[in-house]
Amino acid sequence: MEGPKRCSNVNTFLSSVFTFQYSVITDILSINEINSTQWDLDTADHPGKILKSEPCYISMTNETTPAYVHGYSERETERLYDQAGSVRNLVHQGTSYPPGSKVLEAGCGVGAQTVTLAQNSPEARFYSVDWAEKSLSLARNVVQSSGISNVEFLQADIFDLPYEEEFFDHLFVCHLLEHLLEPVAGLSALRAHAKMGGSLTVFEGDHGSCYFHPQSKEASMAWNCLVEVQRRLGANSLIGRELYPLINDSGFRDVRITPKMVYIDQSLPKLMDSFVSKTIIPMVEGVKVPALGLGLIDEKSWHKGIDDLHQITRLEKGTFCYTFFKGEACN
């Protein structure tokens, strides 16, 4: 079965230009450039600093999946749709599936990516799975309202899917691995249901790649709370940098990783609003209660940090930078 891209060895030096929904041009760094860069994550005011504390797992949904750090509020649902819209081309560029393909979307959530997947490959059949019925209900509604008919939804655990082995031609995973206690085991479980010669597409962020200007101590502290709360839940918001070994260790072949950088300044007001104001900052705001409860930050510093993040979107000199990672491989 033909894949979304020809499965072959690809030079890991990747340098190209991607056009966003709002015509933002981004630089794509090579894997070697990223690996050779000495990130100083222990610098006190670095937004990607990893807080030095012992794991303290707050709550778990089951043995393999931590509690979803962002919760299931209406605001979180809105944030997910805003995020999907603002980086739509970044996620889906180059990803489409041949007619007749059976594609598993693992961890579809509220269907934020499902609509674009289905629209880009109208003659493929999508099986979109999530364990949260509330999210699936929203996903069904958004797909139905979009007039899409090539998607089936199912509530299931990705570690115990009710499909036969080698049932799917292709696998699509977006913003899922960071929430798994054992991402290699998760990918391996999915791989068991993929046909030989089929493809895997994975898209994840890396909160340690975040930079912004102006950068205050309190804004960096607030951002670090997001990283630390997720870590204490047993998840990994820095997983983007680990995609190559994770996919490779799961048994897939011809693994290739493309870093996709989002750089935004005031020349891109729509993207600043959709990505930073409506996606990034609400994501940070969502961990206020556990961050304060765990003593990661005091309330005064928290409020100043959030205010400073909002200032980035308003100031003429405000800029924001974040890198996602897209992994592609063959089974």
- Quick: pLDDT tens for 198-229: 999 999 999 999 999 999 999 999 999 999 99
**If pLDDT is split at 50, 70 and 90, which confidence band does 52 have?**
very low
> What is the rounded average pLDDT of the residues 171-191?
95
Percent of the chain with pLDDT over 70: 73
More confident residue, 25 or 182: 182
- Give the per-residue pLDDT at 55: 34
CA atoms of 49 and 74, how far apart (whole Å):
30
Average pLDDT over the chain, rounded to whole? 80
Asked if 105 contacts 127 with a C-beta cutoff of 8 angstroms, the reply is: yes
Question: What pLDDT is attached to residue 112?
Answer: 85
pLDDT score of 300 more than 80: yes
60 pLDDT above the threshold of 60? no
35-44 per-position pLDDT tens digit? 332 223 333 3
Res 7: pLDDT: 54
pLDDT score, position 83: 53
Q: Is residue 86 very low, low, confident or very high in pLDDT (cuts 50, 70, 90)? A: low
Report the predicted TM-score, pTM, of the whole model to 2 decimal places. 0.77
How far apart CA 286 and CA 274 sit, in angstroms, is 17
* pLDDT(169) > 90: yes
Binned at pLDDT 50, 70 and 90, residue 176 comes out as very high
Residues contacting 173, CB < 8 A, separation 6+: 105, 106, 107, 187, 190, 200, 201, 202, 203
| Cβ(156)–Cβ(190) below 8 Å | no
Write out 186-236 in H/E/C secondary structure: HHHHHHCCEEEEEEEEEEEECHHHCEEECCCHHHHHHHHHHHHHHHHCCCC
Q: Of 98-102, 135-139, 312-316, give the lowest mean pLDDT range.
A: 135-139
pLDDT for res 43: 34
Asked if the model's pLDDT at residue 154 lies above 60, the reply is yes
- The confidence band for 100, taking pLDDT boundaries of 50, 70 and 90, is very high
**pLDDT given at position 92:** 82
Task: Name all domains of the chain by residue range, CATH numbers in brackets.
Answer: 17-330 (3.40.50.150)
Residue 134's pLDDT band (cuts 50, 70, 90) = confident
Q: Residue 4: which of 291, 294, 256, 272 has the closest Cα?
A: 256
pLDDT of residue 20: 29
